[in-house]
């Protein structure tokens, strides 16, 4: 057995250290981010692959002081999180203030609801938050006017004011290198041409004065991809997969598009949250979502927590939760690997047995029904009465390998025999099991193995959490 993961320092101590001494420039990404040459992932300005490992503190602009923002970001940087979804505006009842003001009373617009009257004091607060993220080496996925709360305001202002608001934002933030613009958010009415045009007007306005920063859009739950709406294709650089069904199905839908863009998992179930009609964010479901996504071709993902997206009372003491810690373990696993070269094993030429064919079909059916108008209602009826197709019950085992065969990864949600066609790889191959619940490695007896024929791999038993999910790592031995 290999050593356990490195011990994390206490959050309070590291937060103070990080506030005083931001992440070293040598270890931080060189922003702004760009799309890779093969359009499958992101790279920084130096061409270094950037795996999106994100959190979703959507209300950070209005529900936290600058001091608390600094402590929050220091904690997330300590956990290897390099991206934050932040809504520039928030007016959700019982979560934010309905006039969009900060917790200490700073309104975003001098005239309430008038996008042409931005309040300099409010946007100076936003500036501080984005700079703090940069000092911690983090990208900010900044939603300019999220559509689940501000669509009525967009309608009242009209397309010309929406475009002008976008121009204002693009001009103000073009010099902040660590931004990715993320439009939409639970955009259930994007099929309405008028609503879609309003959101696009903001995006176009941003692009007119800030052509350098990447953009994306989150469309509708319960499952969607940015490119479901073809009118957004020329405006965006990233394809946001959004689903409460098994994540591999939606990610692969985006990965397989003929005119694809890098896909990332923008939102799935959140920790401590169970939205009706979904399977909820139990810790086992969170792990499935994460490993399913990366091994299906995602360029990364955003984790979320019901505590920290709202920043509800007491959030400061509920940061290092099981979901956040295991996201860190996922990042620690993939970051040293050539994750950006992994190609999903969609035809099961590598993992020939043990992948769970019925579960795979269930996920595909979920994605299909979820895209049909009202289709998710029929799917949920089937799921609720049979259990078929839920995230909790789905045990599909995705596999992926680099084209040169020097690296292969398989995630199995449950204990079962995996049969790998070793002849598709390059040997000899060191084989290890990775425990996604505590970050430990377990060598497979007899490793390294020749790259010939097929070989069975059986997990070591229950993982440290008492569950059955494991990650199989096969790596060519250097020098051979």
pLDDT of residue 370: 66
Instruction: Please name the residue that has the structure tokens 């009257």.
Output: 117
Positive/negative CA dihedral, 431, 327, 336, 441? negative
262 and 130 housed in the same domain: yes
pLDDT of residue 59: 98
48 and 146 housed in the same domain: yes
pLDDT of residue 24: 45
Antiparallel, parallel or unpaired: β 351-353 and 399-402: unpaired
Residue 100 binned pLDDT confidence (cut-offs 50, 70, 90):
very high
- Residue 291 to residue 157: CA distance in whole angstroms: 42
416 and 276 housed in the same domain: no
- As a whole number, the mean pLDDT across the chain is 92
Side-chain half-sphere exposure of 239, counting CA atoms within 13 A: 28
Distances (CA, A) of 361 to 309, 358, 385, 469: 32, 5, 18, 20
Residue 27 binned pLDDT confidence (cut-offs 50, 70, 90):
confident
* Cβ contacts of 314 within 8 Å, gap of 6 or more: none
- Residue 463 to residue 465: CA distance in whole angstroms: 5
Work out the average pLDDT over 79-108: 97
Determine, yes or no, domain membership for 45: yes
- Residue 457 to residue 431: CA distance in whole angstroms: 9
- Token readout for 427 is 């040997």
Q: Is the pLDDT of residue 5 over 50?
A: no
Residues 280-314: tens digit of each pLDDT: 999 999 999 999 999 999 999 999 999 999 998 99
- Report angle CA 93, 95, 101 to the nearest 5 degrees: 80
- Residue 336 to residue 431: CA distance in whole angstroms: 16
Q: Is the pLDDT of residue 58 over 70?
A: yes
Work out the average pLDDT over 176-190: 98
Antiparallel, parallel or unpaired: β 300-302 and 342-344: unpaired
Determine, yes or no, domain membership for 280: yes
170 and 304 housed in the same domain: yes
376 and 463 housed in the same domain: no
- Residue 461 to residue 59: CA distance in whole angstroms: 41
Is the peptide bond prior to 428 cis by the omega test (within 30 degrees of 0)? yes
Determine, yes or no, domain membership for 294: yes
pLDDT of residue 10: 45
Q: Is the pLDDT of residue 221 over 80?
A: yes
- Token readout for 168 is 């204002």
143 and 288 housed in the same domain: yes
Domain range for 364 is 357-388
* Nearest CA among 199, 248, 250, 192 for reference residue 224: 250
Could you list the beta-strand ranges (E) of 269-344: 300-302, 342-344
Q: Is the pLDDT of residue 388 over 50?
A: yes
Determine, yes or no, domain membership for 1: no
143 and 183 housed in the same domain: yes
Residue 389 binned pLDDT confidence (cut-offs 50, 70, 90):
low
Determine, yes or no, domain membership for 448: yes
Antiparallel, parallel or unpaired: β 399-402 and 342-344: antiparallel
pLDDT of residue 31: 98
156 and 281 housed in the same domain: yes
Q: Is the pLDDT of residue 374 over 80?
A: no
Last residue of a domain, one of 309, 344, 379: 344
Q: How far apart are the first and last CA of the chain?
A: 24
Residue 381 binned pLDDT confidence (cut-offs 50, 70, 90):
low
Is the peptide bond prior to 101 cis by the omega test (within 30 degrees of 0)? no
Determine, yes or no, domain membership for 26: yes
Determine, yes or no, domain membership for 366: yes
Please report, rounded to a whole number, the percentage of residues in the chain having pLDDT higher than 90: 84
Positive/negative CA dihedral, 413, 408, 294, 329? positive
Distances (CA, A) of 126 to 107, 134, 173: 12, 13, 10
Contact 277, 397 (CB under 8 A): no
Q: Is the pLDDT of residue 369 over 50?
A: yes
211 and 76 housed in the same domain: yes
pLDDT of residue 386: 53
Q: What is the CATH number of the domain that holds 24?
A: 3.20.20.80
Work out the average pLDDT over 41-60: 98
379 and 407 housed in the same domain: no
- Token readout for 355 is 């992948």
Determine, yes or no, domain membership for 2: no
One DSSP character per residue, 13-68 reads HHHHHHHHSPPPTTTS--SSPEE-TTSSSEE-TTS-EE-EEEE--TTHHHHS-HHH
371 and 444 housed in the same domain: no
Ramachandran sector of residue 105 (left: φ over 0; alpha: ψ -120 to 50; beta: rest): left
* Greatest pairwise CA separation for the chain in angstroms: 71
* Cβ contacts of 431 within 8 Å, gap of 6 or more: 443, 444, 447, 448, 449, 457, 472, 473, 474
56 and 195 housed in the same domain: yes
**Residue 380 or 476, more confident:** 476
Residues 236-284: tens digit of each pLDDT: 999 999 999 999 999 999 999 999 999 999 999 999 999 988 899 999 9
Count of domains in the chain?
A: 3
pLDDT of residue 30: 97
Distances (CA, A) of 301 to 55, 240, 251, 365: 9, 9, 11, 23
Last residue of a domain, one of 335, 366, 388: 388
* Cβ contacts of 330 within 8 Å, gap of 6 or more: 53, 287, 290, 291, 294, 436
SS3 134: helix
Q: What is the CATH number of the domain that holds 462?
A: 2.60.40
């Amino acid at each position: 057995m290999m050593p356990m993961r490195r011990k994390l320092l206490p959050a309070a101590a590291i937060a103070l250290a990080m506030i005083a001494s931001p992440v070293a420039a040598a270890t931080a990404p060189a922003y702004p981010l760009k799309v890779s040459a093969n359009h499958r992932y992101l790279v920084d300005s130096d061409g270094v692959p950037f795996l999106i490992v994100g959190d979703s503190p959507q209300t950070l602009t209005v529900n936290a002081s600058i001091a608390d923002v600094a402590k929050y970001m220091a904690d997330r940087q300590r956990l290897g999180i390099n991206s934050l979804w932040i809504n520039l505006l928030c007016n959700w009842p019982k979560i934010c203030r309905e006039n969009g003001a900060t917790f200490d009373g700073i309104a975003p617009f001098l005239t309430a609801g008038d996008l042409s009257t931005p309040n300099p004091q409010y946007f100076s607060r936003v500036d501080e938050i984005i700079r703090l993220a940069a000092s911690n080496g983090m990208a900010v996925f900044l939603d300019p006017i999220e559509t689940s709360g501000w669509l009525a305001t967009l309608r009242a202002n009209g397309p010309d004011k929406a475009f002008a608001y976008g121009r204002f934002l693009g001009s103000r933030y073009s010099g902040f290198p660590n931004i990715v613009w993320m439009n939409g958010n639970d955009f259930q009415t994007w099929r309405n041409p008028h609503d879609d045009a309003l959101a696009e007007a903001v995006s176009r306005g941003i692009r007119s004065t800030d052509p350098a920063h990447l953009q994306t859009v989150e469309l509708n739950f319960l499952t969607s991809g940015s490119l479901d709406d073809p009118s957004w294709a020329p405006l965006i650089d990233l394809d946001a997969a959004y689903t409460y069904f098994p994540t591999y199905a939606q990610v692969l839908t985006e990965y397989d598009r003929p005119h694809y863009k890098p896909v990332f998992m923008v939102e799935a179930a959140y920790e401590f949250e169970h939205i009706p009609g979904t399977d909820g964010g139990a810790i086992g479901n969170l792990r499935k979502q994460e490993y399913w996504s990366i091994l299906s071709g995602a360029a990364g993902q955003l984790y979320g927590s019901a505590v920290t997206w709202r920043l509800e009372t007491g959030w400061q003491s509920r940061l290092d939760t099981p979901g956040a810690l295991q996201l860190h373990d996922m990042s620690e696993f993939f970051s040293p690997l050539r994750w950006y070269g992994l190609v999903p094993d969609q035809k099961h030429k590598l993992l020939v047995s043990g992948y769970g064919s019925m579960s795979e079909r269930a996920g595909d059916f979920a994605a299909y029904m979820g895209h049909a108008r009202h289709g998710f209602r029929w799917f949920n009826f089937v799921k609720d009465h049979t259990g078929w197709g839920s995230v909790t019950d789905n045990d599909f085992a995705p596999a992926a390998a680099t084209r040169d065969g020097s690296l292969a990864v398989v995630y199995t949600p449950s204990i079962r025999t995996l049969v790998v066609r070793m002849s598709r790889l390059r040997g000899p191959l060191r084989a290890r099991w990775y425990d996604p619940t505590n970050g430990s490695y377990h060598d497979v007896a007899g490793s390294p193995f020749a790259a010939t024929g097929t070989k069975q791999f059986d997990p070591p038993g229950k993982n440290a959490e008492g569950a059955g999910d494991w990650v199989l790592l096969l790596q060519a031995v250097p020098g051979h």
